[in-house]
Structure 1
Amino acid sequence: MRRFVFVCALFCSPFVFVPSHAQEHPQPAPDAPQAADQALPSELADAEASIAKSDWKTAAAKLDAYLASHSTDARALFDAGYVADHQDHLDEAAGFYRRAIGANPNSFEAHLAIGLLLARQGNKSEAHTELLAATTLDPGEAGPALKARAWRALARLDSPSPDGEGNPELASSELLEALKITPETASDTLLAADLAEASGQHDAAEAAYRRVLAGDPKSVAANSGLAHVLIESKHYPEAEKLVRTALEQRPDDPALNAQLATVLAAQNDADALPLLQKLHTAHPQDPAIMRMLADVLAQAGEFDASNKLYLSLLTKSPDDVDLLVAHGQNLIRQQHFAEAMASFDKASKLDSANPDAWSGIAFAASKLHQPAVAVHALTMRSRYLPEVPATYFLWATSYDSLNDRNAAITYYHHFLDSSGGKFPDQEWQARQRLQVLERK
């Protein structure tokens, strides 16, 4: 189940800083082509006055007129990019920012601006390059806080994505660089928690989430993030409370509802099934929801409905080992042993270290009267998991079918020693077979 943590990226909204020379009282920027003691051209000053008033159309017109005769003015090019950015003309804005960098490679604000823009567009590689360049430059009048913003944006780019890509160690170091410049914020703490969890430091992640909740008990991101940590450690009741608190803020959020369904399903709560069915109706192509619904349907004994979902998922991911194993387990429950064997066999070929695939092969083989196949599968499974009463019984009956009397006796005794009265039918069968085998 993928993680559902809702930390807003610094680059998820339109342009997030006001350049130093676009304030109410414009002053020459440190990256302007003019000397510091040279007056700002009146046409450019007028354009920046319009920017300060958020009069984007007027500013754009004035900048177009100015750039017609000053096409390499880095400051004016940056201003034009800034105006286009605010009007959501992102490709145009990127073009202006690139031209500004071409005119002045040391323009901190232009590197930062295009880095944030590219990050919003999902162009991580180029965004990373531009943001990293910004961290090496003097922010001048823009101030050190904006350099910290560049480091934070880098940390978010390098933080792990739902598909597992990312570099949590690098992201952590980038976040630390930001914290050397400006104080820690709640968003920083949430990111630190996210990175700690991605690195397997669950205690550190839990502590960070709890710090955020101490200051903001209704934080959706912290409640959801801490719930995920607690789900991993199987502390389901507290996790459920946290998710429900988050849902009070966002009752229709599909990710939060899916997280609640995960908690309910883990606790075998009957409310999980209708919640997942509602989510699936609203998001019929969401694979994570389909997987959960298929699993809960199987637990509820609705194997046909569950299998339809697994088959649908397998059409898109035919080599997904977990799906193949789950599909095979459904077929076992429906007593379609040959089909189940085929599904488990494919899973074992894709991942020879998957014990569930070998367990499935062993059980299906025993039902198909293939004891040698069952013994091989049990041998493979034993490399990765300890024996349990069910596998002891399969060992015993398989050796019994192969007429290996001594091995069958040994495993029947192992089964009876471990079963503890939980499998009365199999225990009766084991005792009956031992009476016969031990008389020979």
Structure 2
Amino acid sequence: MPLRLRALPLLALLAAAACDDTPKINPKDRAEGLYIKGNTEYLHGDFDQALASFNEMKQIVPNDPRLPAAVGEVYLSMGKFDEALAEFQTALVLDPKRSTTWSRIGFIQAQTGKTDEALASLRKAIGLYPNDFNALEQLGEIHFKRGEKDEAVSHFVLAALASPDRLKPDFVVRAAEILQQENRHAETLELLLKFAGQGVRAPEVLTALGDEQVRAGKMDDAAASYREAAGKAPKDPSLWELVGRIYASQGKQADALAAFRESLKVKDRAIVHVAIAQLYLAQQDRKAAEEELGKAFESVSGSDVRELLELSDLLVTFGRKADALKILANLASEPDNAKNAELQLRTAKLARSLKDEATVKAACGRVTGNDGGGVATCP
């Protein structure tokens, strides 16, 4: 056969080989890709897809020790506690010294009311890895529900110390809230100062710190804490408002006005305009105060009780008692406020001064229903 003719079949084979350039993936690599894919889908909240990926992986490597824990995490996020528990128990057989598995089992037991079992599992997790902040947090919650407040605070503090920086503020504030509920404000202040000094200066921590500094009469420190919090939470108008109120209470009217203006830059709120109006009244500038009153009416939300109460007070200051009474009477008549005895008595008192006996009777009737007393409790 001529050389040219013999070369033709060889060229055809080479061409066919060149066209078939699909990479050959071995089963191990395929399984690893499915594991990564499943975890990515899980992190994105695509739980059904994640389960499908892990199930496909299981067909290739049924004994991969990572699979039960991975599937358990998906079921746990789906709220399927029974399925999650079964997977984590399988994972425990494969690796009994993995603290996270014990922690997850303890969490599920706690959620399903098996408190004693949960405590045992969570303590096992901590024994294997003392910095398991998830287990520490769950132990804190269990102790709190049992009324063991000191133990709860202790575990939340340990969770804060062990957790990543982004999670520390949540645990610090949780511990502080428990102490506050017990009126242990000196301890709360000490706790917040300690963590703030360690660099945990998230807005929620600084705000809680400012609150405790106000209670302790450390107004300059509180203003500084609120200012820093405001800088780190630029969408929260209440922080600048708090700064302004502190300055106003100290007679620092220019600083207070500047802080209130910063609050208004974040959100136009009637309560801040009322505060500014009060500043102007203190300066004997009634015209400027009236302008702020007008702005307050333009921005009033109608749902903020504190805002409406302060607006009614300002109206009384301006001699507009009838307008103030309209606000109070409307608030007092709302079902959600029916048990607010302070509001009802306040409404009745203003109505009495205006000789509006119908409103007095209505408000006093609500007070009677609240405390079991008589109309004599009204003004």
TM range (shorter): 0.5 to 0.7
Closer, same or farther: CA 130–395 of 1 in aligned 2, 3 Å: closer
SS at match of 2:328: helix
Aligned alpha-carbon RMSD (Å): 5.0
Q: Which runs of 5+ in 1 are unaligned?
A: 1-65, 119-124, 156-168, 316-323, 412-440
Tell me which of 65, 86, 89 is aligned to 1:136: 86
Give CA-to-partner distance per residue, 1:69-103, whole Å, 9 cap, x none.
43xx7xx65545668999xxx89xx9998534224
On the 8 A contact 1:328/1:339 being kept in 2, the answer is yes
Q: Please list, as runs of the form range in 1=range in 2, the aligned pairs for 1:37-436 lying within 5 A after superposition.
A: 68-70=25-27, 79-80=32-33, 98-104=52-58, 109-110=66-67, 112-113=69-70, 127-128=77-78, 133-137=83-87, 138-139=90-91, 140-143=93-96, 147-151=101-105, 170=111, 173=113, 178-179=118-119, 181=121, 183=123, 185=126, 187=133, 188-194=135-141, 203-210=147-154, 224-250=173-199, 255-269=204-218, 270-281=220-231, 283=232, 285=234, 287=236, 290-301=237-248, 302-314=255-267, 324=269, 326-334=271-279, 335=289, 336-344=292-300, 346-348=301-303, 354=305, 356-367=306-317, 369-382=319-332, 383-387=338-342, 394-395=350-351, 397-399=353-355
**Separation in 1, partners of 2:259, 2:146:** 33
SS at match of 1:104: helix
SS at match of 2:341: coil
Closer, same or farther: CA 204–326 of 1 in aligned 2, 3 Å: farther
SS at match of 2:123: coil
Give CA-to-partner distance per residue, 1:95-127, whole Å, 9 cap, x none.
9985342243887732533665x7xxxxxx994
On the 8 A contact 2:238/2:263 being kept in 1, the answer is yes
On the 8 A contact 1:78/1:97 being kept in 2, the answer is no
Closer, same or farther: CA 147–251 of 1 in aligned 2, 3 Å: closer
**Separation in 2, partners of 1:113, 1:175:** 25
TM-score, length basis structure 1: 0.49
1:311 CA displacement: 2.5
**Separation in 2, partners of 1:202, 1:210:** 14
Q: Report sequence identity in percent.
A: 11
On the 8 A contact 2:328/2:347 being kept in 1, the answer is yes
**Separation in 1, partners of 2:221, 2:234:** 22
1:330 CA displacement: 1.8
Closer, same or farther: CA 175–307 of 1 in aligned 2, 3 Å: farther
**Separation in 1, partners of 2:323, 2:143:** 44
Give CA-to-partner distance per residue, 1:352-391, whole Å, 9 cap, x none.
xx3x244234324434554333333333455343348976
**Separation in 2, partners of 1:196, 1:239:** 18
Letter matched to residue 267 of structure 2? L
1:240 CA displacement: 0.9
**Separation in 1, partners of 2:76, 2:161:** 36
**Separation in 1, partners of 2:79, 2:30:** 20
On the 8 A contact 2:153/2:175 being kept in 1, the answer is yes
Closer, same or farther: CA 263–142 of 1 in aligned 2, 3 Å: same
Closer, same or farther: CA 135–99 of 1 in aligned 2, 3 Å: same
Closer, same or farther: CA 84–254 of 1 in aligned 2, 3 Å: same
1:264 CA displacement: 1.4
SS at match of 1:347: coil
On the 8 A contact 1:261/1:272 being kept in 2, the answer is yes
Which of the pair is proportionally richer in helix?
Answer: 2
Greater radius of gyration (CA): 2
